């Protein structure tokens, strides 16, 4: 039942596309918050975790932003439901593996989700499609203020919000952008970029956070420090780094087209040919093919409507989503067959890419 409402609704990630700034798929801000005088979830005893959940769940669920949303204890969710929520970035892997008395509240439009008893008592997250930190901040800040009226936050006037892990102390904020950087990957510049931004206190991770790989040339880029700066300053500093990365990606695209257009046409053409004709596709290969087609959309080789198809692929080709679509338990090989069938259907009506070299 839960799953139905998730599938019925849109996802900020699948609605992510904007022709104006094709590089940033989505913007995300999350705040870590804890109740005062209560042990952090990792230290709390069962009754204390239960108490936190019983206090927070109704408080969050009654927010106006959560009207007609989903409220659930993690224990009530099936493995498949948890996996689908992880694939949609609505809960973390940590929460999905949580032993007991953890919960989540998700807004109807899936742009807001609040996890309870993850690493902190509260993790408030807002996702916005495209490059929209301002809107994401206004939204998450509003929710935070509303909750602060109801709950007693652990806060030190000297260092700010207290959190389970010292890396989150202060603002408790992590702002991140999901970026699609195919040209930097193709031209082997990502390593250099990662090194440079790390030195500026900015972290680069794969699509599914820490430790995940960057299949599909998608990277999550976020602030590493939460202390000593205001939220606005953190966002400003992050944004300036993101602008630089966008410029570098755009330069890399231009150079690839200038230097060896056939090599790019070949990659994009093959991706399209394989999506139309494969009969076995892993999610990782699928991500990489979708990434190349998305790059092709940016370069106007495919019609703009294709963008939405590939953006949905990034999420809908993940194992949990495929499993759900199949409607019955299937093994990994059957998933690969199902996934490729799904994509052949999706790509059937998409015309061959048109490759032209634009002269100055």
278 lies in the binding site for a second copy (CB under 8 A): yes
**CA 201/CA 224 separation, integer angstroms:** 5
Yes or no: say if 170 and 228 are a contact pair by the CB < 8 Å rule: yes
Contacting range for a second copy; rule: CB under 8 A; set: 59-67, 124-132, 239-247, 257-265: 257-265
Contacting range for a second copy; rule: CB under 8 A; set: 46-54, 97-105, 173-181, 260-268: 260-268
**Closest approach of Cβ 301 to a second copy, in Å?**
11
Yes or no: say if 216 and 316 are a contact pair by the CB < 8 Å rule: no
18 lies in the binding site for a second copy (CB under 8 A): no
Encode 156-177: b = buried (16+ Cβ within 10 Å), e = exposed. eeeebbbbbeeebbbbbbbbbb
Nearest to 82 by CA among 68, 71, 97, 69: 97
**Closest approach of Cβ 260 to a second copy, in Å?**
8
**Closest approach of Cβ 271 to a second copy, in Å?**
8
Q: Is 316 exposed, middle or buried (0-12, 13-18, 19+ CB in 10 A)?
A: buried
Figure out which of the listed residues 195, 243, 255, 270 binds a second copy, where binding follows CB under 8 A: 270
Yes or no: say if 120 and 164 are a contact pair by the CB < 8 Å rule: yes
- Our CB check for a second copy shows the closer of 239 and 341 to be 341
352 lies in the binding site for a second copy (CB under 8 A): yes
274 lies in the binding site for a second copy (CB under 8 A): yes
**CA 132/CA 130 separation, integer angstroms:** 6
Figure out which of the listed residues 266, 300, 305, 332 binds a second copy, where binding follows CB under 8 A: 266
- Our CB check for a second copy shows the closer of 4 and 279 to be 279
**Closest approach of Cβ 31 to a second copy, in Å?**
45
- Our CB check for a second copy shows the closer of 172 and 296 to be 296
Contacting range for a second copy; rule: CB under 8 A; set: 63-71, 103-111, 318-326, 348-356: 348-356
Contacting range for a second copy; rule: CB under 8 A; set: 50-58, 100-108, 263-271, 290-298: 263-271
Sheet of strand 112-116: strand arrangement: 70-73, 103-106, 112-116, 122-129, 24-33, 173-180, 218-223, 202-205
269 lies in the binding site for a second copy (CB under 8 A): yes
**CA 278/CA 80 separation, integer angstroms:** 26
- In sequence order, which residues have a C-beta less than 8 Å from that of residue 2 and are 6 or more positions away? 70, 72, 77, 81
Figure out which of the listed residues 178, 340, 343, 346 binds a second copy, where binding follows CB under 8 A: 340
- Our CB check for a second copy shows the closer of 231 and 336 to be 336
Figure out which of the listed residues 7, 153, 155, 355 binds a second copy, where binding follows CB under 8 A: 355
In order of 16, 89, 293, 353, the CA distances from 308 in angstroms are 8, 18, 11, 16
Beta bridge partners of 56: none
The residues that touch a second copy, with contacts defined as CB under 8 A, are: 262-263, 265-266, 269-270, 272-280, 333, 337, 340, 352-353, 355
């Amino acid at each position: 039942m839960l799953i139905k409402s998730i599938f019925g609704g849109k996802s900020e990630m699948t609605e992510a596309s904007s022709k104006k700034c094709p590089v940033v798929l989505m913007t995300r801000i999350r705040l870590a918050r804890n109740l005062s005088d209560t042990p952090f979830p990792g230290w709390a005893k069962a009754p204390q975790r239960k108490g936190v959940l019983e206090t927070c769940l109704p408080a969050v669920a009654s927010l106006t932003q959560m009207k007609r949303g989903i409220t659930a204890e993690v224990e009530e969710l099936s493995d498949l439901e948890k996996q689908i929520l992880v694939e949609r970035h609505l809960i973390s892997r940590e929460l999905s593996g949580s032993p007991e008395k953890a919960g989540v509240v998700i807004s109807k439009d899936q742009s807001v989700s609040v996890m309870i008893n993850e690493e902190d008592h509260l993790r408030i997250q807002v996702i916005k499609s495209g490059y929209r930190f301002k809107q994401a901040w206004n939204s998450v800040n509003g929710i935070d203020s509303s909750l602060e009226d109801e709950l007693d936050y652990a806060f030190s006037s000297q260092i700010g919000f207290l959190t389970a892990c010292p890396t989150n102390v202060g603002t408790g904020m992590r702002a991140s952008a999901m970026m699609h950087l195919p040209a930097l990957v193709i031209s082997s510049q990502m390593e250099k970029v990662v090194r440079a931004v790390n030195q500026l206190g900015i972290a680069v991770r794969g699509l599914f956070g820490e430790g995940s790989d960057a299949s599909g040339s998608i990277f999550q880029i976020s602030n590493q420090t939460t202390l000593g700066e205001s939220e606005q300053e953190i966002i400003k500093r992050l944004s300036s780094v993101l602008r630089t990365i966008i410029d570098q990606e755009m330069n890399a695209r231009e150079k690839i087209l200038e230097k060896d257009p056939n090599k790019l046409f070949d990659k994009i053409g093959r991706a399209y040919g394989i999506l139309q004709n494969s009969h076995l596709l892993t999610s990782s290969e699928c991500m990489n093919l979708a990434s190349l087609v998305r790059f092709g959309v940016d370069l106007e080789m495919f019609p703009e409507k294709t963008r939405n198809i590939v953006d949905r692929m990034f999420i809908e080709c993940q194992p949990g989503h495929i499993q759900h679509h199949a409607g019955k338990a299937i093994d990994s090989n059957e998933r690969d067959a199902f996934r490729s069938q799904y994509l052949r259907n999706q790509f059937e009506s998409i015309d061959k890419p048109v490759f032209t070299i634009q002269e100055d």
